[in-house]
Amino acid sequence: MKKIETQFNDQMIEILKSMIGKKLNKYRCDPFTFSNTVYLNVGIYVDNKVYLLSNENEVIDYFGANEDIPVFKIRECKESDIRSGLLDVEQIDNPVDSRIKEIHVIHENQKLFRKEILTYDYDLTRGLIFILSDDREISFENWGPFGEHIKINCGHNLINKFDAIDDSNPDGDPNDVFKTTRSIIKI
């Protein structure tokens, strides 16, 4: 059995814990053109600190094939690190001006059973939901297994806006069964 782990590590969880009670000033991202997705990077501005939320490809054994899979990460950075992953795209500021009451880290576990034997066990961070003191929510979702896009939503009950779990078999092999579960870590 192959275990693959790309979920937020302890250091990233500590970064999120440090944000609780602080003011989310704004987030910076590519302008929405045709959808509410942005490419590669989002800047998160909390009090006097800047964080980079990224969704960059890493080569990972993804159910038997080495694939470029986007991995969601967060780190503290300099403001100059916040820039579009696309050429000639100027990012825009999205004001928030509200305190962070809670952060929900959305994790997924994807399992592949081949001939009823657990063959792959993959843990990943699917996204974040910021719960604000004015009861608004802002979510950032790792959008799919092969795209470096981040889907952004604002509103209420945003867990319902996350893409549905899909256990379909992309290869159609009757010996393969996929099982996906989702969990929420509340910070």
Q: Read off the pLDDT band of 17 (50, 70, 90).
A: very high
The C-alpha atoms of residue 60 and residue 71 are separated, in whole angstroms, by 10
Which residue would you say has higher pLDDT here, 63 or 142?
Answer: 142
Using DSSP's 3-state secondary structure scheme, residue 178 falls into: strand
pLDDT one-digit tens code per residue, 141-187 = 998 666 789 999 999 999 999 998 877 776 778 888 999 999 999 99
The pLDDT assigned to 145 comes to 66
The C-alpha atoms of residue 167 and residue 179 are separated, in whole angstroms, by 6
The yes-or-no verdict on residue 78 having pLDDT over 90 is: yes
The pLDDT assigned to 175 comes to 87
The pLDDT assigned to 146 comes to 65
- Strands 117-132 and 2-6: what pairing? parallel
pLDDT one-digit tens code per residue, 93-129 = 999 999 999 999 999 999 999 999 999 999 999 999 9
Nearest-5° Cα angle at 50, 44 to 54 = 55
What is the mean predicted confidence (pLDDT) over 40-46? 97
Q: What is the DSSP letter of 133?
A: T
Domain with 182, as residue range(s), is 2-186
